[in-house]
Each structure stands twice: as C-alpha cells, then as structure tokens.
A = this chain, B = another copy of it.
Amino acid sequence: MPARMRPDERLPLYQQLSDEMLARIAAGEWLPGTPIPSETELTRLHGVAIGTVRKAVDTLVKQGILERNHGRGTFVRRPQFAESFFRFFRQVSPTGNQPVPQSRILTRSLELPPEAVRHSLALEKNEPTVYLTRERIIQEDRLFREEIWLPKDRFSPLLDIDPTQFANMLYPFYEERCGQLIASARETLTIESADKHMAKLLGIAAGEPVVAVERIALGYDATPLEYRLSRGAAEGFRYQIDLR
C-alpha cells in the first residue's frame, strides 16, 4: 500500500475499512466507473470478516461514494452534478433541449487567495493558488462570470497549458491533467447588488440584483479542491434542484 495516513484504530473496524477505501479512491487507485475488488477479495486483503466488509460498503453507498450493480460488482460513483450548470438555465430551446454552455478562460495566474478562500481550501498562509477567471456564455448573452481558486500543489499542471486549450467542462479536465477527482460540493446562493465593475462585466446597470453562487468542491476524502464564485444577472436566472 502506498504511504498514506493510517486509519484511526480507535474507530470500529468497518469505519477504519471505509476510511481506507475512501483513501484509495481519493488517491485514484480505484477509479469511477470501474468495479472495486469483490467482497471476498476485500475480506482476504484486509483480514476482516465479510460482515465488516459489507458494513463498510453500505456506509459508502449511503454516502453516495459507491454504488452496487448486482451481477456487475460495486463501483465508485461518479458525481452527478458535474453537468449541473444546466440547473442554471431558464432558456430551453423549442425542442426542449438545453443549449450547451460555452466557456472561456479569461485570465490565469498564480495568486495568494483572499482570506475566506484560503480558509475554505484549508491552505496554510502563503500557499499560492492557481487563479482563473472564466466566462460562461449561452446563446450570445454573457451569463456567468466565474472566479476559481485551486491549490497550486495539486493543480500546477494547469500553469503549463495554454488557457485556450482548457476543456469546456473543468472537472473531467482536472481529472485528466491533474489526477484530481471531484466527488461532492457545497453550493451557497446569495443575492447581491451589482457594483460598477460587475455591472459592466455582466452588461447590466449598477445596482441591479446579481446572483452569487459560491461552490466549494471536495475530493472523495473530503479534501477541499476548488473554490469557485460565479456571478450572473438575477433577471432570467433560474436554479433548479432535485431533493431527496
């Protein structure tokens, strides 16, 4: 096993095991879309009872990390919200299809993050971030202006890629270029009043309401990997979500 933190031995066995499984997923040893070892293999590998293995798997299924496909095995679940930008659309084409958003990186630099971002990303003082600004466009209207902060130690490959070559969807791009997998995120919506600068960027009048969406995206082991702040005009804005 590669070097990594040992599970806390004060925890019940099944929790130690589920922590170890999470660490393997976060390290990219078990990838989304491929089956993990069978329960019998896990029992042998970890020297625990099959009941312990099942309880560990149940726990990760409940957390939305794994999913069972009877007859095909147990898989690392790929998060569903990656395409969630579609939640933001009001516009639906007459055929009912959602238009595909286009993205463009505007700037890329190495920056010390603002205090709130540093705190959210659990970074040490003076730890730099890859800072991106980005525009997401739909049907020739500017829709969202985004600011993105990524810990430099994990995302430095992005500094060597021409910003025009960044993929439209960033999460698969992070996975491919930096080996960083996003598993979940916490999103917080608030409404602001556009200052002069933001009003100009969004093509609205100063003082008009603007929606600000803050997203903190986490890896499979709950490490914060990305801090994103997206702003768009409140007029015509829609945010849709399914709750369970």
Contacts and interface: CB of A to CB of B under 8 A. Distances in A.
Interface of A: 51, 54-55, 58, 61-62, 64, 67-71, 77, 79-81, 84, 90, 183-191, 209, 211, 234-235, 237-244
The list of the 4 closest CB pairs from A to B, nearest first, reads A81-B243, A191-B234, A209-B209, A64-B244
A190 B209 CA distance: 12
Given A55-B70, A55-B71, A244 B187 contact: no
Contact of A243 (B71, B77, B79, B211): B79
Per assembly, the copies of the chain total 2
Given A71-B55, A241-B241, A244-B64, A211 B184 contact: no
A240 B187 contact: yes
Contacts of A184: 242-244
A185 B80 contact: no
A79 B211 CA distance: 28
B84 A71 contact: no
Contacts of A237: 189-191
20 contacts: A51-B71, A54-B70, A55-B71, A62-B67, A64-B244, A80-B243, A184-B243, A186-B240, A186-B241, A187-B243, A189-B238, A189-B240, A190-B237, A190-B238, A191-B191, A191-B211, A191-B235, A191-B237, A209-B209, A239-B239
